[in-house]
Amino acid sequence: MNKVADVHIFLLQLWIVHPALMGTMTSIIVLFLCWTIRDSVKMKGIPEKHVFVTGCDSGFGNLLAQRLHRKGFIVIAACLTEKGSQELKTCTSPTLKTVILNVTNPKSIDSAVEYVTAETGNKGLYGLVNNAGRATPIGPTDWLDMEDFHRVLDVNLIGLIEVTLKFLPLLKKSRGRIINVASVMGRLAFGGGGYSLSKCGVESFSDSLRRDMQHFGVKVSIIEPGFFKTGVTSLEIIEKDLNRLWDRLTPDVRCAYGDKYFQNYLKVQRLSMKTLCSADISKVTNCMEHALIARYPRTRYGAGWDAKFFWLPLSYAPAFIADIMLQLLLPRPICSKRSLAKNQIDV
């Protein structure tokens, strides 16, 4: 009892001595509670609405299609391959529809739009989840050429934009939702290649789209996942592509980096993918579901502990801090200024 009384006396003294501090704390608590309550309010009558999800062969899209299907949504899952389409059908019911979609092919997108238009009728499309994406080629910038950049940008950004634009009439008809999958690398670029560029573009496109579509009742949300174990982060695919890039380098560039740099770069990739990548991809699909079901969907969703407590906070820090931290993680080329200075001192 004495301890409880002491706490009460301390709080009373704090209130008397520091009323401004207590007022601020009270306001923060009240705002947090109000936000939590508002965030938990769900839409009514959500099931039996049409949702179109891209990139459903595996990973986030595949799991999301299955979960939305079980919740009663009418899911139209877009897969890149016939194999992915058949495998998804085997673990769901015939009410889940699939289409083959290559987001880099305008004719393929047009065919998907025609199919969805016929399926939705006068209802329109309630949800569009732009999930399709790729990561490779990724590596030091001067290892890449324009074709390498196009391979990623054409899928992650240009394809996403074209899919969105062509489905907008159906989404405006139902005052629906658009969920675009970006990445923490869209906030903090720590790898050369088109991936960070594309995800940064997704962020900007989604922001402008959200502001334009608010007049028509269409809501736009951005998903910013950290590192997760999916086909995009497959270590086998990443290493195979890095070897391709290394083998085609000119002798001058390869000499400037050094064989040791390449081996250490591969080690960093292995370490980061094995230690940072989470196997629980439901952390991402939970965000997607909330963006579809919540009455007040969030503008941005940070998915994964590494995203929420490391990458996204680091993106707000001064650039030199992020530069230093990433320099500690990555190896140094043999011809870097510091390496040359060290060699001169050793001599």
Residue-wise pLDDT tens digits, 85-95 = 999 999 888 88
pLDDT at res. 44: 80
Q: What is the pLDDT of residue 40?
A: 82
Q: Active-site residue 316, yes or no?
A: no
From 115, 126, 195, 261, the catalytic residue: 195
Q: Assign 7 to helix, strand or coil.
A: helix
Residue 10 confidence (pLDDT): 62
For the chain, the 3-state helix, strand and coil shares in percent, each to the nearest 5, are 65, 10, 25
- Using alpha carbons only, give the angle 258, 263, 266 rounded to the nearest 5 degrees: 130
Q: Which candidate, 125, 209, 110, 119, places its Cα nearest to that of 169?
A: 125
Separation in Å, CA 7 to CA 4, 13, 14, 29, 325 = 5, 10, 10, 19, 42
For residue 19, name the pLDDT band (cuts at 50, 70, 90): low
Which residues, 6 or more positions from 274, have their beta carbon under 8 angstroms from its beta carbon?
Answer: 235
Domains and CATH numbers, the chain: 46-332 (3.40.50.720)
Neighbours of 318 (CB within 10 A): 8
Q: Contact, 117 vs 52, CB < 8 A?
A: no
**Among 245, 312, 306, residue whose Cα is nearest residue 280:** 306
What is the chain's mean pLDDT, rounded? 89
Confidence at residue 329, expressed as pLDDT on a 0 to 100 scale: 83
Residue 299 confidence (pLDDT): 97
Give the helix ranges, DSSP H, for 121-193: 146-153, 160-174
Radius of gyration of the chain (CA): 24
The pLDDT, as a whole number, for residue 280 is 93
Q: Could you tell me if 236 and 282 are in contact, meaning their C-beta atoms sit under 8 angstroms apart?
A: no
From CA 90, how far away is CA 93, in angstroms rounded? 8
Q: How confident is the model at residue 30 (pLDDT cuts 50, 70, 90)?
A: confident
Residue 171: CB atoms within 10 Å: 24
Using omega within 30 degrees of 0 as the cis cutoff, is the peptide bond preceding 318 cis?
Answer: no
CA distances from 197 to 157, 160, 327 (A): 9, 14, 20
The whole-angstrom separation of Cα 78 and Cα 50 is 13
Q: Say whether pLDDT at 338 is over 60.
A: no
d(CA 124, CA 172): 8
Tokens representing residue 298 in the block:
């969030």
Q: Alpha-carbon distance 336 to 264, whole Å?
A: 15
What DSSP letter does each residue of 242-281 carry, written as one string?
A: HHHHHHHS-HHHHHHH-HHHHHHHHHHHHHHHHHH-BS-T
The three-point CA angle 134-139-143 to 5° equals 120
Give per-residue pLDDT as tens, 173-226.
Answer: 999 999 999 999 999 998 889 999 999 999 999 999 999 999 999 999 999 999
Q: Is the pTM of this model over 0.85?
A: yes
Contact of 56 with 81, CB cutoff 8 Å: no
Sorted by sequence, the CB contacts under 8 Å of residue 108 that are 6+ apart come out as 100, 101, 102
